[in-house]
Amino acid sequence: MDVYPVGCELVWRRAFPGIAEHAHSAREFVAFLLADMPVLDDAVLVTGEFVANALRHTASARPDGRFIVEVRRRPDSATIALTDQGGPKEPTIPNVDDMSECGRGLYMVRALASELTWSGSHAGRTFTATLKDGSR
């Protein structure tokens, strides 16, 4: 897509069941929408990390749980957001070293994205990463 109305972006949103089998579907959803963009690979990685965190740390993985993926596309960037059903722990980006066995997900997203934010509470959080062409 080369033509965007001035000041506009394209936006898609889809809910997925909170089970591991749908992580692939979420990544495919993002890949389809951003297939011709330079940030495609990073967007798919970010989506995978967001989904993994939702399924590992939040109520989205409970029976009948779900998560929502939103994609915002602009001519020179894309934003991936995931809304989960919340969890008891406040998200953090820990300091990791070569011996750390976990905790690299949001650390990696922060390295890939030009901006990483989250908001919400134990009842539900939205994680948002903006990827710009040449953001690294």
The predicted structure's pLDDT at residue 1? 46
Output the six-digit token pair for 44: 């798919």
In a domain, 22, yes or no: yes
pLDDT digit string, tens, across residues 65-95: 999 999 999 999 999 999 999 998 888 777 7
Q: Are 78 and 31 in contact (CB under 8 A)?
A: no
In a domain, 5, yes or no: no
Residue whose C-alpha is closest to residue 40's, from 80, 81, 84: 80
Domain count, the chain: 1
Which pTM does this prediction carry? 0.88
Q: Are 135 and 96 in contact (CB under 8 A)?
A: no
pLDDT digit string, tens, across residues 52-65: 999 999 999 999 99
Given a cut of 80, is residue 4 above it in pLDDT?
no
In a domain, 70, yes or no: yes
In a domain, 2, yes or no: no
Instruction: Please give the residue range of the domain that contains residue 72.
Output: 10-132
In a domain, 88, yes or no: yes
In a domain, 4, yes or no: no
pLDDT digit string, tens, across residues 98-135: 665 566 788 889 999 999 999 999 999 999 999 998 64
Give the number of other Cβ atoms within 10 Å of residue 74's Cβ. Answer: 16
- CATH number of the domain where residue 23 is located: 3.30.565.10
Give the number of other Cβ atoms within 10 Å of residue 123's Cβ. Answer: 9
More confident residue, 2 or 93: 93
Q: Are 53 and 80 in contact (CB under 8 A)?
A: no
Output the six-digit token pair for 113: 């994205």
In a domain, 1, yes or no: no
Q: In this structure, which amino acid lies at residue 66?
A: R
What's the rounded Cα separation, in Å, for the pair 113 and 74?
Answer: 15
The predicted structure's pLDDT at residue 118? 94
pLDDT digit string, tens, across residues 10-58: 999 999 999 999 999 999 999 999 999 999 999 999 999 999 999 999 9
